[in-house]
Each structure stands twice: as C-alpha cells, then as structure tokens.
Amino acid sequence: MKPAAILPWLQPHWQTLMTAHQQKRLPHALLLGGQRGLGKTQLAEQLVYALLCQDVRPDGSVCGHCRGCHLLSAGHHPDFIRLNPLENSQNILIDQVRGLIQFCTLTSHYGGYQIALIEPAEAMNQNAANGLLKLLEEPPDNTLLILVSHRPMQLLATIRSRCQRFDLGRVNQTEINTWLQAQLEPEQDIDLLLKLTLNAPLAALVLAQGEDMKIRRAVFNDIDGLIQGKIDPVKTAQQWSQYNINYLLYWLITWLMDVIRFSSTAQKQWLVNHDQLSRIEFFSQQLDLKKSFELLELLGEHYRLFNSTANIKPQSLLEVVTMTFVETTLPLRK
C-alpha cells in the first residue's frame, strides 16, 4: 500500500479521526462501513500511515520517507497486520485471527501503535468472528483494530457494538459529482453511473472506464431477444456466465424493478436505468406482473447466493433465470 490523498467525500471522517488521534481519544476498534467503491480501504490505509509515520504532519499527511513509511510501502511493517480472505477463499479464517491475537501479545516494535486492518470484516467465518470478539472484549493497550465492511449488518451485533462506527455511505452528492466530472469525459452519464453503483464514486469510475457499460447494453439486447423468443435461453446463460455475475444480477434486478415500477406508476423519475426508457415503457406493457415478481424474487435469491458463497458455477443458475425471462412475457402479446 502507498500513501495517498484523502478523497474529498471522506474528508469529514478524516478530520474526525485526526482530531480524535491528536486528543488521544482514538478507540480500540473502528468499523468503517458502507457500500463497495467508496474508498473505505483507502481511508483505513491512510490512517495506518498517519499513525505509523514518524514525521507525520498535523493534518495527518505523511512524510513518505521515514522508516515507518518505508516499511509500510514495502509491506512488512512489524507493527501492522492485515487480514484479508486468503487466495481461493472468500473467508477470513480462525487461524488468521489467531495470528492477530498472537500479534497483539507482542509489544510494539517502534513504541507506537500496533494496528490490524480486517477487510472485509464480513468475510470472517463464525469461528474467526468469535475469536475476534474475544479480542474486542479485552483489547490490549495501544492497539487499533480497523474493520472495513461493505455490509456491516452481516457482522455479529456484539462485534459492531464494540467498535466505533463510521458510516461512509452518506456522501455529499455535490462533492462526488464534481469529483467524477473531473475524472470522466463530459459525455459520460454520471447520474446513471452512480445509480448503478449505489452512489459509490470509485465504483462508478471503474464502471465508466471498463467494458461493463457495453456489456450491460448487450445484456439488455439479450433480454429483448429472450422475451421475443429470438434467442436461445441456454446459449444466453452460457454467454452471461462469462460476465461479472454481481453486476449482471444487479442490472437484471434493476431492469425488472424499473419495468414493474413503470407499469404501475408510468413515472420515469424513479427509474434506475433511465437511459433505457423506451425499452422499459415497451416491456411494462408486455410482462405478466405476477410472474415478474416471481422472477424478481429468484434474481434476489441468486444475488444473495453469489454474494455469500464461494465457488458457485453460475451457468445452471443463470439458465433458470433466462428461461424464467421467457415465461414472464404475457402469452397473448408474444
């Protein structure tokens, strides 16, 4: 990890943390929560730098050349430990937490803080979470545990209650719009990008810069083809299984919700996929509403499943989805 500037929408949180640090009021454990793509990890890493840099400035910016900064940049500062899911696993395991407990029994090498970054904290399995809870119940002095979580509500309530919580999801809309305008070409639809990423500016930037917006349009074309009986559901599922499944399911869910919403209100201001208005308008008259709700439930289940379980083969689950799309059209209007 490298020292970096604090992102503008995270400044208020940074100020709070720096003030607490200067007044020696930092708690033993912090929980930085909020949707993916806000910069939570970056904020946590900058805090680690600010606490371990030996020549830190009052605003928390770091020198970049002291021993502390060098060791952090090189990835082996002895007073810092990081817990992430191991390769080929979606979980943080009890052995890793045991390593953390062991780390906390040592005295600080350089006389300052000992810091652990756990990310994402909801990846801890039950044993690991229970192990961490014991540590939180009797936190050692001069130790800071930083938990980063995309879904803090999935953590044990007893873990949440022992951390000072920062909800990074409440961002200043003007600030993130201005920041994105400065990063992107003027023709980019920032409003749409933010709607598709749950208002997370870093995620919106990644979405705009990669191929995913093109893939999204291709998926909407596929839905047209499926509903009109022009393409094969099995082949479509095979194609879809190559995509980022989280994005794919989120697009399908928002598309279907837009259609359902439009069919009952005919209002366009609440649509997520506002660039697809004519399509949504058309399908809002074509879909069987009851079956649409069933499909929505199915997509929601798949979304939760892909988010909680490792190593799922998406193809067969997506076949169920594409076939259900075909059945969701009203028979009379095919």
Select from 307, 202, 292 the least CA-distant residue to 250.
307
In the bound complex, what is the minimum distance in angstroms from residue 73's beta carbon to Zn ion? 10
If the CB atoms of residues 46 and 96 are measured against Zn ion, the closer one turns out to be 46
- When the beta carbons of 79 and 122 are compared against Zn ion, the nearer one is 79
**CB of residue 70 vs Zn ion: minimum separation in angstroms?**
8
List, in order, residues 6 or more apart from 296 with CB less than 8 Å away: 253, 256, 257, 260
What's the CA gap between 331 and 244, in Å, rounded? 32
Q: Which residues bind Zn ion (CB under 5 A)?
A: 53, 55, 62-63, 66, 69
229, 245, 218, 217: which is closest to 328 by C-alpha? 229
For residues 284 and 307, give the distance between their C-alpha atoms in angstroms, rounded to a whole number. 29
Q: What share of the chain is helix, strand, coil (3-state, %, to 5)?
A: 55, 10, 35
Name the minimum Å distance from CB 84 to Zn ion: 24
In terms of CB distance, is 54 or 164 closer to Zn ion? Answer: 54
Q: Which two tokens stand for residue 205?
A: 């930037």
By beta-carbon proximity to Zn ion, the closer residue of 57 and 217 is 57
Burial call 50-79: b when 16+ CB within 10 Å, e when fewer: bbbbeebeeebbbeeeeebbebbeeeebeb
CB of 1 to Zn ion, least distance (A): 13
Cα gap 52→66, rounded to integer Å: 10
Give whichever of 62 and 117 is closer to Zn ion, judged by the CB atom. 62
**Closest CB 53 distance from Zn ion, rounded Å:** 3
Nearer to Zn ion, 63 or 94 (CB): 63
- Residue 52 CB, nearest approach to Zn ion (Å): 8
